[in-house]
Amino acid sequence: MKPVTNTTEKLKNPEHALDFLAGQLVNPGGHPIEDMEAAGQRELLFSDVLPVDMREPIGEYLALDFRFGEVVENDPIFRYAELPEGWERRPGGNSYWSVLIDPDGYERVGIFYKAAFYDRHAHMYIVKDWKERKYEGSAD
């Protein structure tokens, strides 16, 4: 099973925190938080997890054929999950958003994930007007 990096926990490790700070010193014009958030989205797209925070009752996801497992150890904002058959993860409009696409190419679930270590959270919701939301790619 493939979770995402818990950036909050990672930076509690002094070695990782020093690496993060050193990266800022070496590249002072860089955008370490934005880079962390973009990396979080990429990890989410290739992971086996979904947010624990669902804006609808879990029964609505189960009716779509989602399968949910345990909450990820040491990462309470995600749980292991299997998508309905033929569904795919795709990037959304920016590094905070991803979407789940059904086999016909419609956006069926939106996922928000802010991977920044200081304000890390995630949630997902079922797209109610999905018949009007054909996936056309991300704006990135």
Q: In the prediction, which pLDDT does 29 show? A: 62
Closest C-alpha to 32, from 96, 117, 134? 117
The string over 70-99, giving b where at least 16 C-beta atoms fall within 10 Å of a residue's C-beta and e elsewhere, is eebeebebbbbbebeeebebebbeebbebb
- pLDDT grade for 7, boundaries at 50, 70 and 90: confident
H helix runs in the chain, sequence order: 7-10, 14-26, 32-45, 58-63
pLDDT at 82: 98
Query: Cα 1 vs. chain centroid, distance in angstroms?
Result: 15
pTM: 0.83
- pLDDT for 15: 56
SS3 63: helix
What is the band of 17 on the pLDDT scale with cuts at 50, 70, 90? very low
Q: Which two tokens stand for residue 120?
A: 């890390």
